[in-house]
Amino acid sequence: MIWRACLPLFAAALLSPPPAAAQALTQRGFADGGLFLFPQDAPSDRTRAVGDLRVRDEVFFKPSGWLQFAAGVDFRANSHDQVDDRWRLDVSDRGARRPRLALRRLSATFTRGPVTIDAGKQFIRWGKADVVTPTDRFAPRDFLDVIDTEFLPVAGVRAVAQAGADTFEAVWLPRFTPSRAPLLDQRWTVVPAAAASVPLVDGGATLPDGSQTGVRWSRVADRVEFSLSFFDGFNNLPTVTVFPVPSPSGAGPIVAVARNYPAIRTYGADAAVPTRLFTIKAEAAYFTSRQSGAAAAADNYVLYVVQVERQTGEWVFAGGYAGEAVTARRSTLTFAPDRGLTRAIVAHASYTIGPTRTIAFEGAVRQNADGVYAKAEYSQARGQHWRATIGGAAIAGRESDFLGQYRRNSHVRASLRYSF
């Protein structure tokens, strides 16, 4: 519907002269092939080598100064069944597996004076922190690899009005996009040892029908910038229910695992304050279940992050503490990497060795030391198009800890990217 509404505007834009300034048509994309090697078996997954291929192409067309169109697609292939085999363009990208061909972006941007409206499939990012972002409610992620994630686009309308130092933003998403949870038969789903012999089947996902809305007010001042935000929608991370199902062969029990996405509201705030030595960034959100009493399906809790950030010489550093305070606990199983990275010190750093070479580090340590991960990556570009990256992640800890449960998933990774 949005696209039909856009057609007259598109025609009008074509008839008006393009801005003398900007290029009317721009494009960017890449082909990226990667290999992951896991030195250890996981109880549910004995595959130790995973190959992955991603091709992305994005086009931006600016027929007029007040209008821009964006379109982009992702093509995926994977050696470990992480990609849906069907050859079709997946517009919504809400499945358990990555689509073979996904619509990454298809949007129109209208600008008039201080008002900007983006309509269509797009990326919406809120918040200022880096590793954990409690207010970033319109940014579902692909967690097929829990510590190497990517953002998923959402479909909706975003309106922004700027008035001096203040920015007002409203978002409406008519359709929910969930984060992609780890596949049940792969190593990023960890089953407790006691239940390891019970076969798991995907009980499916119940995707909520309602729309999601959010508003945000930001202010940029000389010494501080901050935002207040409100979100009314659904958690893009699922609560999990397990239930027995009959075995087709009649042999032994089978457990189905189903995903539900609870209705929530969040009240968020974020701020950045530059000081002489560091920029201090803080971000917090209070998550509350939209239902009350027995119907409530999710915990009420506060997620918060305080971090410091500094660039000096060739180094960029950010590090801080992510915390959680639960105000109402309900006995639900969840897949919640954001909460899994709380009560932890998180940090990342990068060093630019030269114009074409960088090295980066990232890590998190739970405050009780029950879980830790550390990533390192070396990257080198060659010419105008090629970049090779090698890296690895070491994960350790207790089985009961969110990070520690992945202790058999330490890995090394190599990738080669051609950008165009």
Burial class (CB in 10 A: 0-12, 13-18, 19+), 209: exposed
Q: How far is the CB of 384 from other proteins (least distance, A)?
A: 4
Contacts of 1 (CB under 8 A, 6+ apart): none
Q: Which two tokens stand for residue 45?
A: 């997954």
Query: Which is closer to other proteins, CB of 48 or CB of 310?
Result: 310
Given a contact cutoff of 8 angstroms between Cβ atoms, the answer to whether 358 and 388 are in contact is no
Element (H, E) at 72: strand 67-78
Indicate the residue among 54 and 366 with the shorter CB distance to other proteins. 54
Q: How far is 353 from 142, CA to CA, in rounded Å?
A: 30
Nearer residue to other proteins within complex by CB, 119 or 184: 119
State which residue, 249 or 312, has the beta carbon closest to other proteins: 312
Nearest CA-CA partner of 132 in 392, 353, 346: 346
Place of tokens 């298809």: 106
C-alpha span between 16 and 3 (Å, rounded)? 20
Q: Rounded to whole angstroms, what are the CA distances from 70 to 2, 22, 118, 222?
A: 14, 15, 10, 33
Select 200 or 381, whichever has its Cβ closest to other proteins: 381
Work out how close the CB of 110 gets to other proteins at its nearest, in angstroms, rounded to a whole number: 11
At 241, which helix (H) or strand (E)?
Answer: strand 239-245
Q: Could you tell me whether strands 254-260 and 200-206 are parallel, antiparallel, or unpaired per DSSP bridges?
A: parallel
Residues, the chain:
420
CB of 127 to other proteins, least distance (A): 9
In the complex, which residues of this chain contact other proteins (CB under 8 A)?
20-21, 23, 26, 28-30, 58, 60, 62, 65, 68, 70, 109, 111, 113-114, 116, 123, 125, 151, 160, 162, 167, 220, 222, 225, 272, 274-279, 309-314, 316, 352, 354-356, 381, 383-385, 387, 417, 419-420
Residue nearer to other proteins on the CB measure, 398 or 417: 417
Q: How far apart are CA 398 and CA 12, in angstroms?
A: 61
CB of 29 to other proteins, least distance (A): 8
In the complex with other proteins, which residue's Cβ is closer, 273 or 396? Answer: 273
CB of 128 to other proteins, least distance (A): 8
Compute the least distance from the CB of residue 385 to other proteins, in Å. 6
Nearer Cβ to other proteins (40/311): 311
CB of 68 to other proteins, least distance (A): 5
CB of 310 to other proteins, least distance (A): 7
Beta strands in 123-224 (DSSP E): 141-142, 150-151, 154-163, 166-173, 200-206, 212-220
